[in-house]
Structures are given as structure tokens and as C-alpha cells.
Amino acid sequence: MSLGTTRTFDFRHSKTRQTHTLQLTHGSLLIMQGRTQLDWAHRVPKELEVHGERINQTFRYVDSSAAPKRP
């Protein structure tokens, strides 16, 4: 849940390197379900200038058995 200033949110697929970008506007609710957390990296990229404040509230279910294996 995003509250406040709009920020960019990026996804990059771990194998194909396909990317998606979206804007998290005030009141946005982003749900990452299925394999999203396993197959995609995500970030709020640094920006040179951000005007205003933003609060992000994240709820996570952590399933350690589904974690990717380290090489």
C-alpha cells in the first residue's frame, strides 16, 4: 500500500530480463502473488529528486521452503 508521493516501481524477470515499470500512486495497492517474488526482482529505483513524502506498508507471507536455492 502506497501513501503519498508517486514513485516508480520496476520489475525484472530473473531469467528473461523482461522488465515492467509502473507508477505507485497515492492509494495504490500492489499484490505480488503466485511466483512473482520467486521469478521477478523488484525495486523502487533511486531518483535524483523526489518531491514529497511517501509511506509504504508491506505485508508478507514468508515460506522458507519456497526460497530459491543458493548456488
Ligand X SMILES: O=C(O)CCC(=O)C(=O)O
Q: How many residues of this chain interact with ligand X, rule: CB under 6 A?
A: 6
User: Rounded distance, CA 7 to CA 28, Å?
Assistant: 10
Among 26, 42, 66, 67, binds ligand X (CB under 6 A): 42
56 is a contact residue toward ligand X (CB under 6 A): yes
- Please, what is the minimum distance in Å from the beta carbon of residue 52 to ligand X? 14
Interaction pattern, residues 5-24, with ligand X; x per rule: CB under 6 A: -------------------x
User: Rounded distance, CA 47 to CA 49, Å?
Assistant: 5
Residues engaged in binding ligand X (CB under 6 A): 2, 24, 42, 44, 56, 58
